[in-house]
Amino acid sequence: MRGRCILKDLSNNLNFSSFSHIYVENEALKNKNTQDILSHFKKSNIIKISHYKDVFFRKNQDFAVQKHSPKLILAVKHGNFIYDGAQVCEDFGNKYFYYTSSIMNCIYNCEYCYLQGVYTSANIVIFVNLDDVFHEVESLLEKHPVYLCISYDTDILAFEHITGFTKRWIEFAGIHKNLKIEIRTKSANFKCIEKLEPFSNVILAWTLSPEEISKTYEIGAPGFNSRLESIKSAVSSGWNLRICFDPILYLKNWSIYYKDCIDRTFEAVPSEKIQDISIGVFRISKDYLKRMKKVNPYSIVLSYPFKVQNGVCTYADIHHKTMIDFVYNLLSKYVEKEKIFI
């Protein structure tokens, strides 16, 4: 089963084969998760380091160049593991909204991804001390229920075949009923978790983009059809499903692309099987956007004359409203309006 997942994902994401060098913190060497991850890379060069920041945050790195051949860094995280949910992100009506990141950076190379503006390195850091995160979540759960997003600064399901972290999170949620987790993904990697029990407090959230956009601006990520197949399998297996049309990009023929995308989604997935839907236009921190433009100065997506409000860049009001209204009206033909979050 695990071998099938590896082969399937490698066929879609050849970037995984580029982990020719793996940096491992001395503190992480004896961790079981480290050993499990390294077992998938028998031919990689293992380099011991004192601290992941010595590699990840070193000066004069080129994000765009590294993205073609990212290296893997295995580390132990210290300090806080749980953070308050960002204001630009939807909380879906949950009062106690948090996120956590066991992995820094993503294997995909989406042109609009904010991670280009957050980090100067395209290398990928995996924090192997997952049990410490679980302990902090349990401490928080003693105070109140928790809604936790575990896949914001990466695509955790895309890494499942080498980490097994998604499986462990699902099993953890299964024994903590006052915890609700969201696993957001663009992967087509559902097969790696399809045998697990679909707990009611676990939400699988797929980001869907029109095929024309995924091919051009989401390099390395599975296309629309591949994601849709994973969604269909998840629905058939009884999982809670969230679909995210976010970010909607203002590009030539955008309305044609998104109409086709939405219509095809609901031709394949029964609307009653969808828990809710998230929609949102592209928005980004002003500082992140500035760095992103340096990484990709010729980007069509980033060349729009964005307006700035409270430090966040987004489309002009007329385009913002047109896009949201268009997608909202399309979706409301298929699902109750109460299921649509903007």
With a cut of 50, say whether residue 10 has pLDDT above it: no
pLDDT score of 93: 84
Q: Which residues pair with 147 in a beta bridge?
A: 97, 180
- Over its C-alpha atoms, the chain yields an Rg (Å, rounded) of 20
Distance from C-alpha of 106 to C-alpha of 113, rounded to nearest angstrom: 9
Mean predicted confidence (pLDDT) in 24-51: 96
Q: Where residue 8 falls among pLDDT bands split at 50, 70, 90? A: very low
With a cut of 80, say whether residue 70 has pLDDT above it: yes
Two tokens, residue 68 = 């073609």
Distance from C-alpha of 310 to C-alpha of 170, rounded to nearest angstrom: 36
pLDDT score of 86: 74
Two tokens, residue 291 = 């760095």
**Angstrom distances, CA of residue 28 to CA of 37, 127, 130, 341:** 12, 9, 12, 40
Helices (H), 296-342: 317-331
Contacts of residue 15, defined as CB under 8 A and 6 or more positions apart, other chains included, come to 69, 70, 107, 109, 220
The total number of residues shown for the chain amounts to: 342
Two tokens, residue 230 = 């994973």
Q: Where residue 89 falls among pLDDT bands split at 50, 70, 90? A: confident
Report which of 122, 170, 135, 132 is spatially closest to residue 150, judged by C-alpha positions. Answer: 170
How would you classify the pairing of strands 45-49 and 307-309? unpaired
Mean predicted confidence (pLDDT) in 202-231: 97
Contact 300, 251 (CB under 8 A): yes
Q: What is the pLDDT of residues 136-195, one digit of tens each?
A: 999 999 999 999 999 989 999 999 999 999 999 999 999 999 999 999 999 999 999 999
